[in-house]
Structure 1
Amino acid sequence: MAEELEELWKKLSFTEEEAEDIELGSGSTRVAIKRGKNCVVLKVLSHRSISLDTLRKSLRMMWKLNKGMQMFEIEEDLFLVEFGDGKDKKKVLDISPRSYEKQLVLIQDFEAELTPKEIELKWSPFWVQMFNLPLKCRTRETRVAIGRKLGEVLEVDVPESRVQWAKCLRVKIWIDVTRRLVRGKMVTIEGGESRWINFKYEWLPNFCYNCGMLSHALRDCPNSSENLLQKNNNLQDGVWLRG
């Protein structure tokens, strides 16, 4: 309905009274901007409609906030969360990603200049585990070099020595969730042979084993057939992507 109205307005000829400009000064926006510092916008990556009350109750139990929160639907399936203080907001942003009914919850900082329709939620932080690297590659520099090919590197799990001996390398990366999950990368080390480095994602919610997208599960995949659902041994993705 909103899209139809917007297209209709583009075709209208405005009267002189309608075209008269109203100027809003800082006094009209100051309070909202101040309160917005403790706000985030939120969306559940799901094709199903989300109940505000049910989502609110679930997030309150999950987040265990010190000063509570208020939650509002500002656009269809797009929500604004106002926290009691900045510490609760930081806590929630730091523990992302999280899921609701096994679907990824996207959270983004408050942007005062945007209308709800202009807000695009498509990024989420994930800790990515990297396997099958030689011992000489267990460095901070290796983590950053590979991580940058997946998205913006937010954090690197490595001590001050810049080397960490562990089963895998861990990097926190800002990932575009509108693209399929990257299962691994071919890496050439010091001009030698290329080798396959496989990835696993921590706190990975539902995703499609057929097309690798986070927006739906296999049973909802528009590209899957009934035969594929019954014989899923040919699927290109699977539970092994979960770290």
Structure 2
Amino acid sequence: MAAELEELWKKLSFTEEEDESIVLGRNTTEAAIAIGKNCLLMKVLSHRSINIDALRKNLRMVWKPNKSIQINEVENELYLVEFGDGRDKKRVMEMCPWTYEKSLILLREFEGERIPKEISLWQSPFWVQIHNLSLKSRTRETGRAIEAKLGEVLEVDVEESGVHWGKFLRVRVKIDVTKKLVRGKKIVIEGGEQRWIAFKYERLPNFCYRCGLLSHGLKDCKEGNDNEDQVDLSKLQYGAWL
């Protein structure tokens, strides 16, 4: 409907009365801006239709807010979540990623200056484990350098010394969910030999083992026509090991 209205608007010849602009002052937006501070924009990364009543019930149960939350659809597949308590909003954002029916939920801050159809949600934070690093490379600087190639680095899980001795280095990074999952990277340390480091994603939702996209599962992938039950998972480029 929005696209149809826009096309219609382009074809119109305005009358003198229609061409007169209405100027909206600050007092017309104050209430929405104030409430917007406790709001998030939300999208479920799924090709399947979403039942908004079921979505509301599920998120209230999973998020367990101290006060009420309201969820409204402001555009096709775009929702606005209004929290009664800003602390609930903060906690929900800090505990991302979330899922609904195994599909990833995308969340971002309220954008009052834009109309809903102009708003795009395409990023989500994940804790990513970096495996197969040499001991001398398990530092905050290494984590930032490597994960910066995936997206915006939010945090590197190391001690105050800047070093972490463990089975892997752990980094929180905001990734582009429209792209294929990155399974690892080739690195060269201080002019030494090239080696492969592997990534593992914590709390990874449903994704496609064939193409590596988060927007659908294997059975909904357009790159293959075979029955999911007949697929040899060992021959696919992605898997549960991610």
- Measured against aligned partners, the alpha-carbon deviations of 1:3-36 in whole angstroms (never above 9, x if no partner) come to 1221121111111111110000001000000000
- Per-residue deviation, residues 139-174 of structure 1 (Å, max 9, x unmatched): 111111101111110011001011111111100001
| Partner residue in 1 for 2:217 | 217
Report how far residue 52 of structure 1 moved.
1.2
Distance 1:231 1:67 in 2: 46
Which residue number in structure 2 is paired with residue 66 of structure 1?
Answer: 66
Q: How does 1:141-180 map to 2 (within 5 A)?
A: 141-180=141-180
Aligned: 1:235 with 2:232: no
Deviations 1:88-134 (A, max 9, x none): 11001001101000000000100110111011100000000000011
CA distance in 1, matches of 2:132, 2:225: 34
Matched letter for residue 238 of structure 1: G
Separation in 2 of the partners of 1:15 and 1:207?
52
Give the equivalent residue in structure 1 for 2:86.
Answer: 86
The whole-number CA distance in structure 2 between the counterparts of 1:13 and 1:185 is: 56
Q: Which residue of 2 aligns with 1:104?
A: 104
Say which SS state the counterpart of residue 152 (structure 1) adopts.
strand
Write out the 4+ residue segments of structure 1 that deviate beyond 3 Å after TM superposition: none
Partner of 2:134: 134
Q: 1:202 to 1:8 in 2, by over 3 A?
A: same
How far 1:227 sits from its partner (Å)? 6.5
Q: For residue 15 of structure 1, what is the amino acid of its counterpart?
A: T
1:54 positional shift: 0.6
Q: Summarize the Cα distance change of 1:228–1:122 in structure 2 as closer, same or farther, 3 Å threshold.
A: same
Q: Hey, what's the Cα distance between the residues in 1 that align with 2:186 and 2:155?
A: 22
Q: Which moved more, 1:201-210 or 1:1-10?
A: 1-10
**Does the residue aligned with 1:172 lie in a helix, a strand or coil?**
strand
Q: What CA deviation, in whole Å up to 9, does each residue of 1:28-53 have, x standing for no partner?
A: 00000000000001000001111111
**1:234, distance to aligned residue in structure 2 (A):** 1.9
User: Is the partner of 2:160 in helix, strand or coil?
Assistant: coil
Q: Which amino acid aligns with 2:170?
A: R
Structure 1 residues 196-215: aligned runs within 5 Å: 196-215=196-215
Find the residue that maps to 1:226 and give its secondary structure.
coil
Give 1:11's aligned residue: 11
Task: Give the fraction of aligned pairs with identical amino acids, expressed as a percent.
Answer: 63
Q: Report the Cα offset of residue 231 of structure 1.
A: 3.0
- Residue 241 of structure 2 aligns to a residue whose secondary structure is helix
CA distance in 2 between counterparts of 1:45 and 1:199 reads: 22
Letter of the aligned partner of 2:178 in structure 1?
T
SS at structure 2 position matched to 1:240: coil
Q: Structure 1: which 5+ residue stretches go unaligned?
A: none
Question: Residue in 2 aligned with 1:30?
Answer: 30
Asked if the contact 2:219/2:228 (under 8 Å) is kept, the reply is no
SS of the residue aligned with 1:159?
Answer: coil
In proportion to residue count, which structure has more helix? 1
Q: Aligned partners of 1:31, 1:10: CA distance in 2, in Å?
A: 32
Q: Does 1:46 align with 2:46?
A: yes
Q: How does 1:185-200 map to 2 (within 5 A)?
A: 185-200=185-200
Q: Secondary structure at the match of 1:146?
A: helix
In the TM superposition, residue 225 of structure 1 has moved relative to its aligned partner by: 2.2
Q: Secondary structure at the match of 2:57?
A: helix
SS in 1 for 2:89: helix
State the distance in 2 between where 1:223 and 1:11 align.
39
Q: Distance in 2 between matches of 1:162 and 1:35?
A: 39
Secondary structure, in 3 states, of the residue corresponding to 1:16?
Answer: coil
CA contact (8 A) 2:45 2:215 kept: yes
